[in-house]
Every structure is written in structure tokens, then in C-alpha cells.
Copies of this chain bind each other. A is one copy, B any other.
């Protein structure tokens, strides 16, 4: 039993207290047959018929807890989703915690429990980890890093280079929920709002999309939001990415908060959405499959690739057009 109520520097020094913290909090909650905290390096089993992928993500969200999730569930979904949109099935995670001295152990335990629940739900196992403790005033309470290993079937043709002119662009649900949920969870904003983060695994959605041979590319619009994904597509392919504002799902509350605070939902982070580019003749089919899931109920076809010059054009609700520029200033720091 760990007796301390708060993390102290000695919990990071390699001695008895560190062993207790790792055993009582991390190892116990994350227990799985492949997690042996006594090892320097953990063995992982991979199927040699598949391609192997690695993805990594750091998490510094503030506040650590928000409606719909916390830094623990986010740390799983962020990395799992990076593998998922690459077409891979995530299997193994490593977990690093950088804990600020004075952090409450009960709170840490709760976060690790949510992390474990998210990992179980996504079918990934934490097999390696490391904990560091930094002095008070040198951290944001808790920072997490996860690195994931996944596999996908050999020779899958998925990636930016497969996008063609005339392809359709889909999104699996409303944009900006995560960004606004985190924003409202900060005490500095005195706005009443019922926005939950969309923080979730997108594995069901990507698995459905992978059934379509016309699937060209997937990405999860996290930092920088939908506008940033659209820009990456446009810059990389040289096509014009044309989207229809009317078709892009945005919750009323999100739109309202954006209007009040001067944010643009196109730049706000999602943590459980997928942008997919698919051959136009398969777009309706994929849309129907997605709309039939809980995570994709509000999915929509939002645009297409056109002959052009690498710009992102938004057809506005009132029938005009505007360029969506690349994100410059920082609208919402530390949403992930």
C-alpha cells in the first residue's frame, strides 16, 4: 500500500518510493500479462505478415480533467487514433509520466484508471513505462507521453499520395467539441455551456473505412483542427480543397461559444473525429456505414478535391467563398 497522499521528489529517484508508486498505481491498474515493470525493455509480439507502425504523442492539456475525458483517456485516444488513421490496428503502448511534486496520488490514480479503461476499450496493452518527478513549479501537474505500436495489412494503399482530383472528403462528426469543452473547463471563462469533449477511439470508424477500396487517406483533426488537415491535403497534393460550410457539422453551443470568444471552429481540436478522403463514387457508401455507428452518427460529406493551386476554399453559408488560411496565432493552447 502506498501511504503518501502526495507525490514527492523521492517518488522519482529510483528507490523504494518509486517502486511503490509504480507498483501500486501504474502496474496494478494497468496490469496485463505483458507488463513487467522490472524490465528495462519489454518484448512485443508482432505478426510478420503485417506492416508495423509507430506513433507518439505528448499530452499537456490544461485542465487535466474536462467533460468527456481527462488527460488519461486522451493519452490513449491520441496515439491510438494516430495509428488508426494510418490504417493500423494499435496493439502496444508505452507510457511516460512527468509528475509535478505535490500532485495528489488519488488524482493520479483516477487518471491512470481512466487511461487503463480507454486502453482496454481500444484493445491496446501498456507494456513499457517510465515515471519522472519534477520540482513544484516546473510542471503542469501531470504531463503524459504515449508511444504506440500497431500493425496493418501489407501493401495497403493509404496516404496523401493516393488522393486524386474529384475525391470526396468526409468528417465523422461535429468539429470543435474537444477544444470548446477544454476551454469551458478552465475557470477563467465564466460561460455556462454543455459541451463534452469528443475524446474517443476512432477505431470503429477507421475499420469501416478500410473496407472501401476507394479510401485514399485518413487523418484525425486534432491540434489545428479541420482547417489544418485541409491545408495539409491541399499543400501536399497541390489540389484545391473545397469545403461547404453548410455541410460541416458544428454543434450550436460550440458555434455560440466561438462567436462569443472570437474563435473559428475550423481551427479547433477534435479528439474523436476522422477526416477521410474517398473516391467520390464510394462516399455515400462510407457515409451510410459511419452514420450507422454511435461515434459517426453525425458524419457528413463536407467537400472534395479540385484542380487548383493548393488552397483551401470554403463555400460559405450565404453563398460566398473564403480562403481558409493556415493557422497562425495560438487560439487555444494546451488542448491536448
Q: Residues of A with Cβ closer than 8 Å to B?
A: 8-10, 12-18, 38-46, 48, 51-60, 82-83, 85-86, 88, 92, 94-98, 127-135, 137-140, 143, 145, 147-150, 160, 219-220, 222-225, 228, 232, 236, 267, 269, 326-334, 336
Contact = CB atoms under 8 A, between A and B. Distances in A.
A183 B54 CA distance: 36
Contact of A13 (B43, B57, B133, B333): B333
A52 B44 contact: yes
A276 to B, nearest CB: 13
A112 B131 CA distance: 22
Contacts of A94: 54-56, 147
Given A219-B40, A327-B14, A147 B147 contact: yes
A196 to B, nearest CB: 22
B88 A41 contact: yes
A54 B44 contact: yes
Contacts of A41: 53-55, 82-83, 85-86, 88, 148, 150
A130 B58 contact: yes
Given A41-B86, A86-B40, A139-B138, A145 B333 contact: no
A332 B10 CA distance: 9
Nearest to A100: B138
A234 to B, nearest CB: 13
A128 B56 contact: yes
Given A53-B41, A329-B10, A333-B9, A58 B17 contact: no
Contact of A328 (B10, B97, B330): B10
A16 B326 contact: yes
A87 to B, nearest CB: 9
B13 A82 contact: no
B149 A54 contact: yes
A327 B16 contact: yes
A145 B53 contact: no
A144 B269 CA distance: 24
A13 B330 contact: yes
Contacts of A128: 54-56, 147
Contact of A224 (B14, B45, B148): B14
The 9 closest A-B pairs by CB, nearest first: A15-B327, A14-B224, A14-B223, A48-B48, A41-B86, A41-B55, A147-B147, A56-B94, A40-B82
